[in-house]
């Protein structure tokens, strides 16, 4: 990777980016975005004909943001035998002072008293081991009698700091080795406390794609010999799916360069509707009214999805840059200490697109260890098609996805159906992960592993 002592460390073949102060949006965002997304987490219900799929939200973007209405989720246990695991993957790794709080890779472990199968679950882009859908899947599997270990995504800051060998996410093969190493460490930590009858693997979104590469690695190393592997809403091509999410920001009026104004407009709409309606609190009545009154347009819903992706990406970029001292966002050799303001760095990071990360940061790094590799070759490597022969020959695989998932093209969906045949379960709607907590989807997931 070409690096410099500037705040960007860009290769010479790319135009220099504006200084940090010129790239900070008008509004700080993580809390605001959380409120906006929370405000969209309820949907009106529709009565469906008997035998028809009952997930009620038809729009792909709306489903992705709203998720599953509470009364359509199954009853799941509130009390479980659970332990938080903190894994020391690299005992000699030194962490910069700004990451003083990170004492190891964090995983969540739910266990039965009796012998049972164990399922490893890999989180989606930017998500931790305790992401909402991760914990929902954990509860559903635990209720069905499984041991479960959830892992963060390799794109999560905790994984970058404590679980990644290179500390630069994006190489599916390397990230899968990192995940496999973490699974081995986790298993060694708990195997004296439980009895396991078989090992299984699942993942959602990017984690679903990574699960396929992890299973392929296990075929060589044979530590777990996974019995079943479920890919939930996976990307076929990681690059092209990420590009489709990034392009959602283009639906914001004025394009992705107007992120600050978009933040302010969404917050204004949220506040005005709240005040005008004289709501007592942000409860189900308020959330229902927000969706019912169509306060947010489909384009704004798409923009919110793209914005969420950017914020997840920002955390990954910042953690990677600091851990590698690359000089991409934080000036090279600058030591950030506890109490230092991170506002400018995080705002700069949130304005870096996926294309910026790939072209300016990841690809130059990858070229250093793979001289002569082209951009097109790298994109093709990180695609399920690159391991097609293995996927076709391995009956333990299954896929659960949606026909209106916007991270997949029609060609991608046909590809998954062609590769997995009757082992590919496609639902008519749900967007990207919107229906993952729906009772029918969770029942299918549990039955697959059974």
Instruction: Name the region of 167 (left: φ>0; alpha: ψ -120 to 50; beta: rest).
Output: left
State the DSSP H helix or E strand holding residue 226, giving kind and residue range, or none if neither.
none
> 93-123 burial string, b = 16+ CB within 10 Å, else e?
eeebebbeebebbbbbbbbbeeebbbbbbbb
The burial of 235, by beta-carbon neighbours within 10 Å (0-12 exposed, 13-18 middle, 19 or more buried), is given as buried
Alpha helices in 253-408 (DSSP H): 259-276, 284-292, 298-324, 343-350, 354-356, 363-369, 375-381, 388-393
The better pLDDT of the pair 301, 231 is held by: 231
SS3 label, residue 8: coil
| 250-298 per-position pLDDT tens digit | 887 776 666 667 766 766 666 666 566 555 454 444 444 555 566 667 7
- Give me the residue label for tokens 């997995």: 420
Residue range 365-417, pLDDT digits in tens: 999 999 999 999 999 999 999 999 999 988 999 999 999 999 999 999 999 99
The residues with which 121 forms a beta bridge, in sequence order, are 150, 202
Provide the pairing of β-strand 229-232 with 397-402.
parallel
Question: For the sheet containing 229-232, what is the strand order?
Answer: 82-87, 105-110, 147-151, 116-122, 196-204, 229-232, 397-402, 424-427
| Closest residue by Cα to residue 244 from 385, 60, 409 | 409
Q: CB of 318 within 8 A of CB of 157? A: yes
Q: Tell me if 119 sits within 8 A of 200, measured CB to CB.
A: yes
Residue 382 in contact with residue 206, Cβ under 8 Å?
no
Domain extents in the chain: 60-449
**Whole-angstrom Cα distance, residue 262 to residue 266?**
6
Angle at 110 between CA 30 and CA 41, to 5 degrees: 35
Cβ atoms of residues 334 and 284 within 8 Å: no
Task: Report how far residue 27's alpha carbon sits from residue 347's, in angstroms, rounded to the nearest whole number.
Answer: 10
pLDDT tens figures, 66-92: 888 888 999 999 999 999 999 999 999
pLDDT band at 302 (very low <50, low <70, confident <90, very high): confident
Pairing of strands 424-427, 229-232: unpaired
Residue-wise pLDDT for 149-186, tens only, equals 999 999 999 999 999 999 999 999 999 999 999 999 99
Instruction: Please state which CATH number belongs to domain 60-449.
Output: 3.40.50.1820
Helix (H, G, I), strand (E, B) or coil at 117: strand
DSSP β-ladder status, 116-122 and 424-427: unpaired
Please give the model's pTM, rounded to 2 decimal places: 0.86
Mean pLDDT within 32-57: 57
Sign (positive or negative) of CA dihedral 324, 326, 331, 334: positive
């Amino acid at each position: 990777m070409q690096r410099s002592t500037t705040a960007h460390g860009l290769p010479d073949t790319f135009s220099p980016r504006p200084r940090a102060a010129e790239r900070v949006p008008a509004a700080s965002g993580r809390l605001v975005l959380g409120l906006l997304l929370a405000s969209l987490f309820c949907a009106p219900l529709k009565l469906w004909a008997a035998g028809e799929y009952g997930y009620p939200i038809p729009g792909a973007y709306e489903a992705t943001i709203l998720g599953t209405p509470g009364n359509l989720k199954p009853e799941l246990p509130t009390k479980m035998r659970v332990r938080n695991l903190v894994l020391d993957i690299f005992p000699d790794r030194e962490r910069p002072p700004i990451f003083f709080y990170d004492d190891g890779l964090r995983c969540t472990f739910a266990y039965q008293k009796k012998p049972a199968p164990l399922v490893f679950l890999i989180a989606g882009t930017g998500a931790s081991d305790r992401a909402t859908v991760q914990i929902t899947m954990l509860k559903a599997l635990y209720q069905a009698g499984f041991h479960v270990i959830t892992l963060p995504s390799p794109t999560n800051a905790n994984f970058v700091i404590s679980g990644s060998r290179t500390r630069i996410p994006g190489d599916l093969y390397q990230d899968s080795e990192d995940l496999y190493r973490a699974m081995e460490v986790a298993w060694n930590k708990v195997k004296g406390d439980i009895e396991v009858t078989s090992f299984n693997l699942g993942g959602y979104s990017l984690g679903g794609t990574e699960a396929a590469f992890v299973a392929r690695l296990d075929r060589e190393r044979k530590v777990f010999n996974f019995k079943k592997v479920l890919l939930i809403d996976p990307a076929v091509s990681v690059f092209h799916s990420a590009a489709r999410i990034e392009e959602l920001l283009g639906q914001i009026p004025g394009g992705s360069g107007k992120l600050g104004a978009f933040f302010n407009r969404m917050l204004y709409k949220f506040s005005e509707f709240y005040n005008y309606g004289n709501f007592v609190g942000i409860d189900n009545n308020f959330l229902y009214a927000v969706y019912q009154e169509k306060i947010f347009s489909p384009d704004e819903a798409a923009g919110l999805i793209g914005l969420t992706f950017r914020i997840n990406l920002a955390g990954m970029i910042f953690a990677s840059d600091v851990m590698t001292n690359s000089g991409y966002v934080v000036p090279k050799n600058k030591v950030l200490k506890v109490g230092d303001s991170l506002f400018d760095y995080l705002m700069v990071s949130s304005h870096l697109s996926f294309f910026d990360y790939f072209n300016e940061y990841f690809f130059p790094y990858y070229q250093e260890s793979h001289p002569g590799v082209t951009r097109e070759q790298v994109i093709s490597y990180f695609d399920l098609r690159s391991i097609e022969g293995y996927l076709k020959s391995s009956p333990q695989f299954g896929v659960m996805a949606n026909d209106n998932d916007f991270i997949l093209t029609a060609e991608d969906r046909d590809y998954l159906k062609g590769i997995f045949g009757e082992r590919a379960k496609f639902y008519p709607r749900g967007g990207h992960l919107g229906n993952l907590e729906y009772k029918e989807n969770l029942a299918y997931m549990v039955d697959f592993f059974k």
